[in-house]
């Protein structure tokens, strides 16, 4: 165990030390995001998990196609870390010990160059080929529409238009937008990397304990109607850990992490 921790520490020091202009005082929180992005970019295991999720999505979609109802079928997907890979932005901020910045984020999304999550493009193209409508429900803002559309069209993704790209509407909850789709379509699958992508029970800044209890309650939905993609870098899991206090400094976040993580004594 000690040898493993020592090796991990040395590897981290090597990555951080060789990053351009990387600070020497990288926080635990940002160091974790560096490793999360490295995993997302380099680990075959990450790719395998994404393939597993989208292979399962295809199986579930095929089952739904055999039992069509009166309404046309639709799949709803999140965009960031579900369909598009933003790890270059995340890593660039974290390795320089910088917090998320909305202006810098929008500069990134405006480029419309993010790569795709493994398995995602082929699944959504398959769904469209079977007559299933794809809706992109994202919490990107309206001023990100052009870059978002450009990025989806870069990979020839289906339904990449204003009607099917549903951006944030005042509040971050996606429930009203899901209901908007449900009014005309039967949503057979929801794809996401963050639990509020699936159910309103995860809205309104729930505690860690509440998120765990809700996940236990909805456990039969995962792998059936809910297809979750791994995102080790960010999400409401960390917001819950920090009690949705967005003003915490890196040092304060590190203190919270140290107080909560289980360590070998």
pLDDT tens digit sequence for 205-237:
999 999 999 999 999 999 999 999 999 999 999
Question: Quick one: pLDDT at residue 17?
Answer: 47
- For 6-36, the pLDDT digits (tens) are 334 434 443 444 444 545 689 999 999 999 9
- For 56-65, the pLDDT digits (tens) are 999 999 999 9
Using alpha carbons, select from 107, 114, 86, 90 the residue that is nearest to residue 33: 90
Single pTM value for the model: 0.90
- Alpha carbons 180 and 21: distance in angstroms, whole number: 46
Q: What is the mean pLDDT of the chain?
A: 92
Residues 190-213: what's their mean pLDDT?
A: 97
Give the three-state DSSP class for 133. strand
Counting residues of the chain whose pLDDT is more than 70, the rounded percentage is 91
Question: Quick one: pLDDT at residue 25?
Answer: 87
Residues 252-258: what's their mean pLDDT?
A: 96
Long-range Cβ contacts of 87-92 (<8 Å, 24+ apart): 87/36, 87/37, 87/40, 87/41, 87/233, 88/37, 88/114, 90/33, 90/36, 90/37, 90/233, 90/234, 91/33, 91/34, 91/37, 91/38, 91/41
- For 108-127, the pLDDT digits (tens) are 999 999 999 999 999 999 99
Question: Quick one: pLDDT at residue 169?
Answer: 86
Cβ-contact 197, 164 below 8 angstroms: no
CATH number of 2-20+27-260: 3.40.50.1000
Domain ranges, ordered by start, for the chain: 2-20+27-260
């Amino acid at each position: 165990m000690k040898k493993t921790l020592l090796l991990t520490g040395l590897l981290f020091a090597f990555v951080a030390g060789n990053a351009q202009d990387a600070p020497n005082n990288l926080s635990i929180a940002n160091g974790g995001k560096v490793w999360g992005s490295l995993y997302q970019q380099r680990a075959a295991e990450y790719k395998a998990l994404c393939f597993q999720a989208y292979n399962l999505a295809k199986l579930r979609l095929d089952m739904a196609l055999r039992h069509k109802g009166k309404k046309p079928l639709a799949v709803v997907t999140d965009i960031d870390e579900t369909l598009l890979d933003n790890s270059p932005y995340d890593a660039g901020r974290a390795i320089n010990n910088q917090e998320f910045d909305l202006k810098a984020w929008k500069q990134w999304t405006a480029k419309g160059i993010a790569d795709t999550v493994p398995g995602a493009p082929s699944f959504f193209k398959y769904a469209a080929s079977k007559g299933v409508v794809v809706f992109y429900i994202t919490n990107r803002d309206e001023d990100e529409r052009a870059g978002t559309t450009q990025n989806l069209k870069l990979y020839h993704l289906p339904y990449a238009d204003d009607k099917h790209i549903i951006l944030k509407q005042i509040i971050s909850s996606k429930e009203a937008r899901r209901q908007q789709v449900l009014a005309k379509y039967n949503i057979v699958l929801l794809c996401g990397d963050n639990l509020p992508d699936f159910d309103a029970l995860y809205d309104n800044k729930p505690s860690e304990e509440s998120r765990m209890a809700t996940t236990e309650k909805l456990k039969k939905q995962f792998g059936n109607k809910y297809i979750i993609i791994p995102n080790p870098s960010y999400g409401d899991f960390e917001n819950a850990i920090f009690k949705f206090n967005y003003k915490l400094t890196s040092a304060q976040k590190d203190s919270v992490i140290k107080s909560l993580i289980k360590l070998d004594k």
